[in-house]
Chains A and B, each alone.
Chain A
């Protein structure tokens, strides 16, 4: 058994990350949870949020979209819709987009089908901004 955990992050567009890490903190559906090597096998829904882990002493942050995680004793596989590393996020761009969305939201009726979608994107924007400040 390897003494480090293998983390794989997969999105529909690409394999974002595949390497050994010391630990992983996943934004689970029912609250964040941490995984260390030797974890009991688990299948968990993942909420959009902040994912972080340690690798050779450094802490690395990602903003992830919805999906799920498969955990075995030596491997964590994350399947998420989107995934961005903290230092790749352009916070200014996200903030501008957020303002745009907020304006759009103000102009819409409460029962508009767009509202849900915009709210979801806004939530994601908040997470992205938060994560971008981590690096």
Chain B
């Protein structure tokens, strides 16, 4: 007998406790996910409106109109990477980090200078010693509002206007459904008309107040912030979704383990009883023979 009865029992109780925790985390993640999904729903009308207007104006867009439309030789690239602050969510962060690494490798091959704005602790911790960190927002994802997107947005918009870097990308996990998130890389700056899916210009005969240039000056930063906020929302929903699935799997594994431990326990107990019975039977037989 490798393990005593008591050892097996202790182990199975420990697994039972782990299961309770993972179950609880699963349920917490589920409720947070629901929240995050509602926020995504609520954000959609705003985002689609901003896109709609920008698309319809894109035909009039000229790179001279706004510093954020300026196309320069992309020597210095900045990346906003969004990860979660906490672990225990399966491959959620690993996937997006891997995608980022790959992307960075291809940039490095073209001898570009890379700097990173890390949103979320996991991404920052991973890249802290590998790349230049231009900014980070850690422990911000727990509870965030549009303000966070505005802050990050301003942090990347001003240096771009001052030509401190030439291209801006955002990498985050796209929330496809509860079980599936996929890393997504989007170029944010400079904004080129081709990046905006061709929209029908429904604003042809509109009056622009004060002028289309001023509107652009307002819309482009808004678009950047909308994209960032969207990334944040998707990251947050994705994180909870991934955690929910990871914890569900963990709970199931616990259950399987408990089952096999119980089996082991029962076998061991049966073996112990058999041995004892053998002893008794052997003993009585010996006594009967001697008498």
List residues of A whose CB falls within 8 A of some B CB. Answer: 10-15, 28-30, 33, 40-45, 66-68, 70, 77, 79, 81-82
Measured in the bound complex, the distance between the Cα atoms of B146 and A68 in whole Å is: 17
User: Once the chains bind, are A45 and B50 in contact (CB under 8 Å)?
Assistant: no
Q: How far is the CB of B155 from chain A (nearest CB, A)?
A: 10
User: Once the chains bind, are A43 and B206 in contact (CB under 8 Å)?
Assistant: yes
Partner of A12, one of B46, B206, B214, B219: B46
Could you say which of A40, A66, A67 has the most chain B C-beta atoms within 10 Å of its C-beta?
A67
Given pairs A12-B43, A68-B53, A79-B46, 16 additional interface contacts (CB within 8 A): A12-B47, A12-B149, A12-B226, A12-B229, A14-B42, A33-B209, A41-B203, A41-B207, A43-B206, A43-B207, A43-B208, A43-B209, A45-B218, A67-B222, A70-B49, A70-B53
Given contacts A12-B226, A43-B53, A43-B207, contact A29 B214 (CB under 8 A): yes
Q: Chain B contact residues: over half helix, strand or loop, or mixed?
A: helix
Q: How far is the CB of B191 from chain A (nearest CB, A)?
A: 17
Chain B residue with minimal CB distance to A29?
A: B210
Q: How far is the CB of B77 from chain A (nearest CB, A)?
A: 24
Could you say which of B45, B215, B222 has the most chain A C-beta atoms within 10 Å of its C-beta?
B45
Cβ–Cβ < 8 Å partners of A67 in chain B: 218, 222
Cβ–Cβ < 8 Å partners of A68 in chain B: 53, 215, 218-219
Chain B residue with minimal CB distance to A41?
A: B206
A-B contact list, 12 entries, CB within 8 Å: A10-B49, A12-B146, A28-B209, A41-B205, A42-B206, A42-B208, A43-B215, A44-B209, A45-B209, A70-B49, A79-B46, A79-B50
Within 8 A of A (CB), among B208-237: 208-210, 214-215, 218-219, 222, 226, 229
Measured in the bound complex, the distance between the Cα atoms of B46 and A12 in whole Å is: 6
Measured in the bound complex, the distance between the Cα atoms of B229 and A40 in whole Å is: 33
A-B interface pairs (CB < 8 A), number: 69
The contact size tier of chain B is: 20 to 34
Chain A residue with minimal CB distance to B52?
A: A70
Cβ–Cβ < 8 Å partners of A11 in chain B: 46, 146
Cβ–Cβ < 8 Å partners of A40 in chain B: 207
The yes or no answer to B150 lying at the interface (CB within 8 A) is: yes
Chain A residue with minimal CB distance to B56?
A: A43
The yes or no answer to B39 lying at the interface (CB within 8 A) is: yes
Measured in the bound complex, the distance between the Cα atoms of B289 and A74 in whole Å is: 110
Given contacts A10-B49, A41-B205, contact A81 B150 (CB under 8 A): yes
Q: How far is the CB of A78 from chain B (nearest CB, A)?
A: 10
Residues 141-160 of B, flagged 1 when their CB comes within 8 A of A and 0 if not, give 00001100110000000000
Cβ–Cβ < 8 Å partners of A82 in chain B: 146
Measured in the bound complex, the distance between the Cα atoms of B214 and A44 in whole Å is: 9
Chain B residue with minimal CB distance to A80?
A: B46
Cβ–Cβ < 8 Å partners of A28 in chain B: 209
User: Once the chains bind, are B39 and A13 in contact (CB under 8 Å)?
Assistant: yes
- Top 6 A-B residue pairs of the complex, sorted by shortest distance between their CB atoms: A44-B209, A42-B207, A12-B146, A14-B42, A10-B46, A41-B206
Q: How far is the CB of A10 from chain B (nearest CB, A)?
A: 5
